[in-house]
Amino acid sequence: MAQRRGGFGLGAPRLATFAASLALVLAATLSLRFHLPIGQGFVAAHRLWLAVAAYGVLALGVLLPML
């Protein structure tokens, strides 16, 4: 495999980071179909931003080795 010069070193996120991202995106997705009583309607009101935050957490987990 050829080595890259410069740039970000990418790695797999930790299991906890992946699980947190998965929980956020599942809550956002399931709120489309079902009424989730989590946060008194917060999930249903902000499902788009929860999905964006989930992928942001996952991206940070790939970029930062401490996550």
Structure confidence by residue, pLDDT tens digits, 10-61? 888 999 999 999 999 998 888 888 876 766 778 888 889 999 999 999 999 9
**What pLDDT, on the 0 to 100 scale, is given for residue 56?**
95
Q: Is the pLDDT of residue 3 over 70?
A: no
**What pLDDT, on the 0 to 100 scale, is given for residue 25?**
93
pLDDT band at residue 4 under the 50/70/90 scheme: low
pTM: 0.77
**What pLDDT, on the 0 to 100 scale, is given for residue 51?**
93
Residues with Cβ within 8 Å of residue 1, at least 6 apart in sequence? none
Query: Alpha-carbon distance 8 to 14, whole Å?
Result: 17
